[in-house]
Amino acid sequence: MGLVSWSPESWQAKVVLQQPAYPDRDSLNVVLRQLSQFPPLVTAWEVDRLRSQLVEVANGRAFVLQGGDCSESFDDCGANSILRKLKVIIQMSLVLIAGSRQRIVRIGRIAGQYAKPRSSDIESRNGVSLPSYRGDIVNRAGFTPEERRPDPAMMLRAFERSAMTLNFVRALSEGGFADLHHPENWDMEFVRNTPGSRRYQELLDSLSKSIRFMEVVAPAGLAELKRVDFFTSHEALLLLYEQALTRTERHRGWYNLGAHTLWIGDRTRALGGAHVEYCRGVRNPIGLKVGNSMTADELLELIQLLNPDDEPGRLTLIHRFGVDSIRDRLPALASAVRASGRSVLWSCDPMHGNTRATRGGIKTRSFDDIVSELVSAFQIHREIGTRLSGIHLELTGEDVTECTGGPGNLTEADLSRDYRSTVDPRLNYEQSMEIAFLLAEQMR
């Protein structure tokens, strides 16, 4: 059953939310044709490797660390920013491996995270109404008719930047930079004298000792230490783009070859909706954001639609309730899923339920709220008898000032110092590392 009536375009017959209205259909079609003919960003073999790693997660032997920008921007596609994102995620994963003695599956919100859902199609300022900014893959942030007009060519620019980003990520993760024999690549910068950086330095020192020991006793077995696995993900939002990157592999079904895994956002997760329809048909592992409006019945139906064969690792439920709601919301949903006997992975996104505006109108999140939601998530899953097997974060490897609190004790007054996100506030380098240490404690 299930896939009988699915095709890469079957979503077009469903209710489709959050899409731009392209004024020029001809140039749209030219772009889509080009996209569908480009060599893919990832391969089906890589997607299958992620699938098998997520089976390990489902078996309780590994944990998922997913993180990156809320929204990548074209301007930020540069060597340093990519290097730092990769570095912070790999460093966090080392801390988690040391703390949990589990393998960590690393997934970036990277190399394609360019489309954003918006609360309104239109933005009005001083009596002027223009289409909302939907991410660099659609239009531009500046408030002029020119910049806000959805331009299909932006999809090509986004694809090219995704390819450049992924090319660099692959080069870095295949050796040299990611080689654990060279811990000098692994130093924490601009976080010199915090308790976190000292703990991290101790961890690196003991890791280097273990590596030297292992090389003496088992010199052949350490090739894996020279490289790391790193997977890519983005929200499956702009469905014409996703459709164009959908390819069939003989005998193996349909794959989206624009990313290793995709997720469905909280705003576009409706049962009869186009996004669920698109995602149910591809072999890539799928994430589903679960927010406060989700009911247990709806969730069970979504699980049936998205994972009809009950494949372990196929579907990750990424809950994002907010620190004040998780106790009210998660227990009933987790109990219902547990009672159904269906195999899902549970991940916690402690970011999207904790966004607030300062009195001055700046979007921020408090480090303490983020940590509290994470700690509650671990507790609740333990109580219910389900397992939290991943976290999903918005973070950057740079020293930005977007979230308050953390080791540097950022206050609201500090936010204006280096606030760069055009959408949601991200954890900075130091805050991200501190989360990794706190998480490692929870997992021990």
User: Which of ligand PEP, Co ion, none sits in contact with 289, Cβ below 5 to 8 A by type?
Assistant: ligand PEP
SS in 3 state form for 278-328?
HHHCECCCEEEEECCCCCHHHHHHHHHHHCCCCCCCCEEEEECCCCCCHHH
Of 161-169, 246-254, 260-268, 280-288, the segment contacting ligand PEP by CB under 6 A is: 260-268
Candidate residues 99, 150, 152, 265; the one interacting with ligand PEP per rule CB under 6 A = 265
Measure the CA dihedral 255/261/266/272, to 10°: 20
Q: Check the CA dihedral 265-268-270-272 and report its sign.
A: negative
Of 11-19, 186-194, 261-269, 414-422, the segment contacting ligand PEP by CB under 6 A is: 261-269
Phi and psi based region of residue 33 (left: phi greater than 0; alpha: psi -120 to 50; beta: remaining):
alpha
Measure the CA dihedral 30/31/33/39, to 10°: 150
Provide the binding-site residues for Co ion, judged by CB under 5 A.
70, 424
List all residues 6 or more positions away from 212 whose beta carbon is below 8 Å from its beta carbon.
Answer: none
User: Of 50, 7, 432, 79, nearest to 248 (Cα)?
Assistant: 7
Q: What is the largest CA-CA distance in the chain?
A: 73
User: Which of ligand PEP, Co ion, none sits in contact with 265, Cβ below 5 to 8 A by type?
Assistant: ligand PEP
Is residue 323 part of the contact set for ligand PEP (CB under 6 A)? no
- Angle, helix 326-340 to helix 367-384, in steps of 10 degrees: 30
Output the smallest distance, CB 266 to ligand PEP, in A: 4
Cβ proximity to ligand PEP, 173 vs 392, nearer residue: 392
Is residue 70 part of the contact set for ligand PEP (CB under 6 A)? yes
Q: Which of residues 350-389 bind ligand PEP (CB under 6 A)?
A: 352
Cβ proximity to ligand PEP, 196 vs 265, nearer residue: 265
Output the smallest distance, CB 291 to ligand PEP, in A: 6
CA distance 402 to 303: 35
Output the smallest distance, CB 444 to Co ion, in A: 29
Of 33-41, 95-103, 259-267, 328-336, the segment contacting ligand PEP by CB under 6 A is: 259-267
Q: Tell me phi and psi for residue 218, to 5 degrees.
A: -140, 65
Cβ proximity to ligand PEP, 70 vs 191, nearer residue: 70
User: Which of Co ion, ligand PEP, none sits in contact with 135, Cβ below 5 to 8 A by type?
Assistant: none
Please report the DSSP string for 99-121 in residue order.
HH-SEEEEEEE-SS------S-S
DSSP 8-state class, residue 59:
T
Site string for ligand PEP, 328-357 (x = CB under 6 A): ------------------------x-----
Q: Which of residues 104-123 bind ligand PEP (CB under 6 A)?
A: 117
Describe the chain by its helix, strand, coil percentages, rounded to 5.
Answer: 45, 15, 40
Is residue 134 part of the contact set for ligand PEP (CB under 6 A)? no
Q: Tell me phi and psi for residue 411, to 5 degrees.
A: -105, 175
Token code pair at residue 336 = 């219902």
Count interface residues toward ligand PEP (CB under 6 A): 9
Output the smallest distance, CB 306 to ligand PEP, in A: 15
Candidate residues 148, 280, 320, 329; the one interacting with ligand PEP per rule CB under 6 A = 320
Q: Tell me phi and psi for residue 255, to 5 degrees.
A: -125, 145
Is residue 266 part of the contact set for ligand PEP (CB under 6 A)? yes
Is residue 229 part of the contact set for ligand PEP (CB under 6 A)? no
Cβ proximity to ligand PEP, 179 vs 298, nearer residue: 298
What residue type is assigned to position 411 of the chain? T
Output the smallest distance, CB 103 to ligand PEP, in A: 24
Output the smallest distance, CB 116 to ligand PEP, in A: 7
Q: Which of residues 185-224 bind ligand PEP (CB under 6 A)?
A: none
User: Which of Co ion, ligand PEP, none sits in contact with 266, Cβ below 5 to 8 A by type?
Assistant: ligand PEP
- Between vectors from CA 310 to CA 308 and to CA 315, what angle results, nearest 5°? 90
- Chain residues in the site for ligand PEP (CB under 6 A): 70, 117, 265-267, 289, 291, 320, 352
